[in-house]
Structure 1
Amino acid sequence: MVKPISLPSITFPTQKAALEYFRGILYRYEIGDSVSDPVHDTMLRELADRHPDATEKIGVGISEFFIDRTDAGDYGYVSAASRGIWIRRIDDSVVDWSYQTAIKKPGMRTSFKDALRLAVNDRRVALRDAAFAAGTVRCALTGALIPTKAEADVIYRDPRWNEIVEDFVATLGGWSKVETNSGFGQIAVGGRITDPRVLASWLEHWDHYANPILVMKDEGGRGSRS
């Protein structure tokens, strides 16, 4: 069965579509370049959070992404000409990571975060639809006119998705509490939050802290999305 790859700001219909999108970002820049497009940066932060070693890779926090020659990483030997998307942390340390691993082998926390994302998806869609119903919609990042709903993305910038989630998880007692039971126990099963108290708390948290914005779908490096 084909399984979509869902990030807070975007859903790819297939794994292949996600891989093509992030490969597009990888080759959009030259070796040594920082990832300067703010939408690319947002998508990479959301993807990095899916990585099975996200805590180790992200470390003290991400300052930026940049393109460089890649280490062998998760896929063994690579040629000297191979390139990768690197993380520069806020303490100026750097680490190679694999966007392919983040897509193909998400970590345990991803299921819970996917459940949180699914729980507020109706809110995100309603925000987009209401904006277009009210009149002219412009990209919050560039000011460019967004002609149709199909050409709009809803993303998180200030605060970012991961910040919203981490703050919420802290109210539950931290990740150790979420991961206490196999399959996340009564908190999240099958991609949905099944504990009504946790669901109500999450929706209240999102309504209070989330500040989603509408942006134009970037023409460079993106695959098909829904």
Structure 2
Amino acid sequence: MYWLGPFEYPSKQALLDGLKEFLRKAPLGRIRNSEAIQKLHLLLALHPDAERKIGVGVDHFLIARNTLAGRGLRLVRTDGSEDSFSYKKCITGVAQSAHGKVCEALRFAVRPQLDSFRARLTYPVECAISHEMIVHPNDLHVDHSEPFWQLLAHFCRTHQIDLSSLETTGNGMNLALVDHSISDAFVEYHLKHAHLQPSRKSANLLKGGALPERVDQV
């Protein structure tokens, strides 16, 4: 698995493939979709030259035609200056960001709730996305009807928490927040507000994508 902040992907390659498809299909011009904008900010923070690219701060992102061929991503800073950036450089060979580790730690914290939901299911069970029947546990993905990233964003606003200020300890399945009070609060929040649903693994991946195709809508 690979996490881009709170967004989960099967691998780095899956994210790269999704971004390539996004650039191919999305309309040219300013990107206005809030989910797409959040993902691009997270990507840009991973760029090897992120500090210079970001400069005085990013006002918005564009999809523009490259000088030679194809399409590319551009950022427009708050002072009006522009620059291009490669999403490949943001992902390939770059270690997971501190923000990404925090999101992953919070996912691990609520994992028992997902496991409990999975254990209560009786097969066959209907996929909440494709409405096809899931006949075997190996084809099951426990999904959030409200995306995990939105649930996490609501939690942060409610509790006035800045994820970028938090620290993690451990690695792998033992990754956790240093401040257990925050992870405990999120576990409680997730228990009250998360709506879990069964989905086929293939349907869940198609639903997620790398970025929303309809970048012309907020």
TM-score w.r.t. the length of structure 2 is: 0.58
Q: How far did residue 102 of structure 1 move?
A: 4.8
C-alpha root-mean-square deviation of aligned residues, in Å?
4.4
Distance in 2 (CA, whole Å) between partners of 1:155 and 1:49 is 24
1:118 to 104, 108, 133: 108
| 1:46-99 CA-partner distances (Å, limit 9, x unpaired) | 96574354997796xxxxxxxx6665xxxxxxx84445689xxxxxxxx98726
In the alignment, structure 2 segments of 5+ residues that lack a partner are 28-34, 47-53, 75-83, 207-218
Could you tell me whether the CA contact under 8 Å between 2:143 and 2:198 is conserved in 1? yes
Matches within 5 A, 1:200-215: 200-215=184-199
Aligned-pair identity in percent equals 14
The alignment status of 1:162 with 2:149, answered yes or no, reads yes
1:189 to 160, 169, 174: 169
The letter of the residue matching 1:193 is: L
Matches within 5 A, 1:42-191: 50-53=42-45, 80-83=68-71, 98=87, 101-102=90-91, 104-131=94-121, 134-158=122-146, 160-175=147-162, 179=165, 184-185=166-167, 188-190=168-170, 191=175
2:24 to 23, 26, 31: 31
Paired residues, what number?
Answer: 177
Q: How far did residue 206 of structure 1 move?
A: 0.5
Q: How far did residue 106 of structure 1 move?
A: 4.2
Q: How far did residue 162 of structure 1 move?
A: 1.7
Distance in 2 (CA, whole Å) between partners of 1:164 and 1:220 is 17
Distance in 2 (CA, whole Å) between partners of 1:129 and 1:57 is 45
Could you tell me whether the CA contact under 8 Å between 1:129 and 1:149 is conserved in 2? no
